[in-house]
Amino acid sequence: MGKIIYLIGASGSGKDAILSWLRQTDSSKLNLMIAHRYICRDWQSGNENHIELSQSEFLRRQALGGFALSWQANGLYYGIGRELDFWLEQEQVVVVNGSREYLATALSLYGDALKPLLIQVDPDVLRQRLIARGRESLADIEARLKRNQTQNQAALLDKCHVIHNNTSIEEAGQQFISLVHSLVDMES
């Protein structure tokens, strides 16, 4: 079996930036597959590389068993396609942009093959990133930061490996690569 690197973190922590950096770094040389997320959200909103589905199309695919992982968060539906299982059978290391709230379920489905990796950011840095993004009011950002603290405490942190993303995306990306190599090598 392959491994799933289950990437989680607060909105604004840099998950999508790290995935974009990995794609530009040539993930094939890193021996990583990066799974697409299917989301019921306009493709042009945000900076996440995802496949846009209407809610009805998402629910139809979900009912047909088209997702290996699927959850709801922030009023949206998210899914990772069944290609995940194929890649695992091919002994690939697959990076998934996951959800903290869904971590316990993902662990129950994939057990030791799933390696949770939490991206942490200091609250002041996260606040500045969310403000710069310009998608939410200051009140919404403060509520998000408060919710983030609660979710991090509830996200089975004792099972997570941690990357600190307070500086450059290149530094966080290098931390990611080092950590993934240590996780995969220690079990080979």
Question: Are the C-beta atoms of residues 9 and 151 closer than 8 Å to each other?
Answer: no
Strands 76-81 and 114-120: unpaired
Task: Give per-residue pLDDT as tens, 11-63.
Answer: 889 998 999 898 888 656 678 899 999 998 765 555 556 789 999 999 999 99
CA distance 176 to 183: 10
Task: Give per-residue pLDDT as tens, 121-171.
Answer: 998 999 898 898 887 889 988 888 887 776 655 556 777 899 999 989 999
CA distance 131 to 127: 6
pTM: 0.86
For residue 172, give both structure tokens: 């966080």
- CATH level 3 topology of 3-180: Rossmann fold (3.40.50)
CA distance 97 to 19: 8
Task: Give per-residue pLDDT as tens, 49-85.
Answer: 678 999 999 999 999 999 999 999 878 899 999 999 9
